[in-house]
Amino acid sequence: MNDVNQAAATGSRTGDAPRVMSHEQMREHLDHQRASVLAAGTRYEMFVRHDGVWWISDHEGFIEMPDPTHNRRLDRWQLRLTPTTGTA
């Protein structure tokens, strides 16, 4: 993943290939609140929402998950796993 360029990490796409970025690049997005993890806890940090889609990490970095169905499922899981504040 060392060949990831800044354009690929910030939103440009080449053909139909999913975008990729390094762990360091995603950490910067998380640190500046441009991305969010699925839920609190190490087990959920492999899924990150950035630039309108979910990304999944592996040992090399993060890869975009462009499938809308998978993105909707992860959106629902994020809602389920996020604690609600206050009571009605």
pLDDT of the residue at 82: 87
User: Where is average pLDDT lowest: 19-28, 36-45, 62-71, 77-86?
Assistant: 77-86
pLDDT of the residue at 84: 74
**Averaged pLDDT for residues 34-58:** 95
Nearest to 82, CA basis, from 50, 51, 36, 30: 36
Average pLDDT of the chain, as a whole number: 85
Measured CA to CA, the distance from residue 1 to residue 63 in angstroms comes to: 10
Res. 10 pLDDT band, cuts 50 70 90: low
State if pTM tops 0.75. Answer: yes
Residue in the block written with tokens 């959920």: 44
Res. 64 pLDDT band, cuts 50 70 90: very high
